[in-house]
Structure 1
Amino acid sequence: MQLTRAERHQVKLRLGLSGASGFGKTYSALLLAFGITNDWSKIAIIDTENGSASLYSHLGDYNTLTLDEPFNPERYIEAIETCEKSAIDVIIIDSISHEWSGKGGCLELHEQLGGKFQDWARISPRHQAFIDKILHSSTHIITTVRRKVDYSMDADMNGKSKVIKHGTKEITREGFEYELTANFELINDKHLAKASKDRTGLFMDKPEFIINSATGKKLMEWCNKGISLDKIKEEIFKCETIEALKQLYAKYPSFQKKTHPLIMERKEQLDDVNGQLISSEQVVEPKELIENGNNSSEQ
């Protein structure tokens, strides 16, 4: 356990888009993704919306992966891993609502177990594994979420029950947006958006706006500030001693999980070099001793 100085690192974006049907979640996500990568071929959509991802193929040659029911967490994870293996830069999951409330999703799985509170002990870890996959992916990820009107039954001053409308609510497990870099809510069918969560500080408390590729570009510029993993990799393979590798490993604690295999690889390279030098010295040394001995006797 040790204190380290806070440093800004380059990160992969975790973006959320939520809104009612017809508000432009898929279209906005595609424009965001293009702004991030500037290459349609490096974008993939995991489509749970009956092929709606292909409706915007005129925009560019992006990739689609159709995900049908059952919408359990493991199938979402498999879809993400398929995209990662294809060298995709930006994955759009359209949408994650099915993982929670769709056919074979978490709510249905819970009901199949009996619907008791204690049954969540078997479902929550599966849902968390899906969330962790999003958070730890090697790519930028954009998720879309459906929204529905949220109502409750309250009593008025006369004690009579009445329906109270509380705005809209995301159809996924509560708290998901707090895991994201930024979360944008599309508020009408004109594609106007506002930030409900924003770690970048670029959009929070700003006027409503229309998401486009410039939005993605702005987010990418923010994302690229700070220390990158590529820079650390260069430093690792410039190290000439084991001690230098130890110091470098300690220097970037937040990257240790990713740099450990590279550190070990470089250590093996240095061990091989040192071993060859020792072996070479062992072969040459006896010859030098003989020559030195002859020279001494001649004198």
Structure 2
Amino acid sequence: MTVEFLPATRAAAKARIALAGPSGSGKTYTALALATALGTTAVVDTERGSASKYAGINGWEFSTIAPQSFAPASLVEALAAASTAGFEVVVVDSLSHYWMGVDGMLEQVDRRAKNGNNFSGWKEAGPDERRMIDALVAYPGHVIVTLRVKTEYVVEQNERGKSAPRKVGLKPIQRDGIEYEFDVVGELDLDNTLTVTKSRIPTLSGAVVQRPGSELAETVRDWLADGEDAPGPREYQEQVELCTDKKELGELWHKVKRLGIGGAALQDADGYSMTLLQYIEKRAHSLGSPS
């Protein structure tokens, strides 16, 4: 196999933003402020309808679902439905539920553990989690997730010189290293101040933003849009639908895998959810064996 390095080019991209913070830091509000400034918004609301309480505020309009099960595969289905409906932004509020909620990863591991061996549980449940992350990263629009954090109280001196407890956020409740999947990661405090802890956008590196909203969204969108337009998962799905050549489908399969969008979740004509790679494979199978 020949390995060839090619000149790097910057492609226009979509936002991948994670907002972490303790209860009361404004994670849902901030996610909606950013999302509605970026485009038509779908919210996967795991927080008992908390997002809907903001409907109409600041003119915000968005659509929601309120899942009761947080199996990673169910989020893939939700992303496929959002993609098919053409939502430009998806908010997952919060992604922590898909780790520690009902049917989340921790429960999946416990159920699949054999003879009390959690290693076997992680081995079996791991692919479901990987597919979920791939679907998030490959979504054809912007993605914003919120993350709960473990909290504790620290005693500090207040402005009057007296000792007073203050709630602080610690580690996000999700898999270790989840922040690597996002372009911008920020921590919100109880004053709704965002501290950017990771950014692929140079101007936001280390930024501290009070009450982040539409201005931050515009900064992210403008930077990500400054590049060459490239086909996304929906465009490749359309190509697959028109393709009648199995060799061409094979080339498409390798191309979308190389581009890192093969895990994008979508729906077929019957409403079944699958990845873009699976969609190509299904199309190839429908063509049968070459005559």
User: TM-score if structure 2 supplies the norm length?
Assistant: 0.70
- Show the counterpart of 1:283: none
- Show the counterpart of 1:21: 23
Could you say if the C-alpha distance between residues 115 and 52 of structure 1 is closer, same or farther in structure 2, counting changes exceeding 3 Å? farther
- Show the counterpart of 1:229: 230
The one-letter amino acid paired with 1:224 is A
- Show the counterpart of 1:52: 50
Residue 147 (structure 2) pairs with residue 124 (structure 1): no
Q: Does structure 1 conserve the Cα–Cα contact (< 8 Å) formed by 2:95 and 2:146?
A: yes
Aligned with 1:147 (options 137, 146, 149): 149
What are the within-5 Å matches in structure 2 for residues 88-107 of structure 1? Answer: 88-107=87-106
Q: Does structure 1 conserve the Cα–Cα contact (< 8 Å) formed by 2:196 and 2:208?
A: no
Q: Does structure 2 conserve the Cα–Cα contact (< 8 Å) formed by 1:184 and 1:196?
A: yes
Residue 89 (structure 2) pairs with residue 86 (structure 1): no
**Which secondary structure state, in structure 2, belongs to the residue aligned with residue 202 of structure 1?**
helix
Q: Which runs of 5+ in 1 are unaligned?
A: 152-165, 234-248, 259-299
Q: Which runs of 5+ in 2 are unaligned?
A: 154-167, 236-251, 263-291
Report the Cα offset of residue 13 of structure 1. 1.1
Could you say if the C-alpha distance between residues 122 and 43 of structure 1 is closer, same or farther in structure 2, counting changes exceeding 3 Å? same
Report the Cα offset of residue 167 of structure 1. 5.8
Q: Does structure 2 conserve the Cα–Cα contact (< 8 Å) formed by 1:34 and 1:216?
A: no
Q: Does structure 2 conserve the Cα–Cα contact (< 8 Å) formed by 1:45 and 1:92?
A: yes
**Which secondary structure state, in structure 2, belongs to the residue aligned with residue 218 of structure 1?**
helix
Q: Does structure 2 conserve the Cα–Cα contact (< 8 Å) formed by 1:24 and 1:186?
A: yes
Could you say if the C-alpha distance between residues 150 and 105 of structure 1 is closer, same or farther in structure 2, counting changes exceeding 3 Å? farther
The one-letter amino acid paired with 2:186 is F
- Show the counterpart of 1:61: 61
The one-letter amino acid paired with 1:93 is V
Could you say if the C-alpha distance between residues 256 and 204 of structure 1 is closer, same or farther in structure 2, counting changes exceeding 3 Å? closer
Q: Does structure 1 conserve the Cα–Cα contact (< 8 Å) formed by 2:198 and 2:206?
A: no
How many residues are paired up? 226
- Show the counterpart of 1:158: none
Instruction: Please identify which structure carries the higher helix content.
Output: 1
Report the Cα offset of residue 118 of structure 1. 3.1
Larger radius of gyration: 1
Partners of 2:261 and 2:212 in 1: CA distance: 35
Could you say if the C-alpha distance between residues 88 and 256 of structure 1 is closer, same or farther in structure 2, counting changes exceeding 3 Å? closer
- Show the counterpart of 2:205: 204
CA offsets per residue over residues 78-102 of structure 1, 9 Å max, x none? 1111111111000001111111001
CA offsets per residue over residues 42-65 of structure 1, 9 Å max, x none? 111011111111010123221111
Partners of 2:261 and 2:48 in 1: CA distance: 38
Report the Cα offset of residue 217 of structure 1. 0.8
User: TM-score if structure 1 supplies the norm length?
Assistant: 0.69
Q: Does structure 2 conserve the Cα–Cα contact (< 8 Å) formed by 1:31 and 1:212?
A: yes
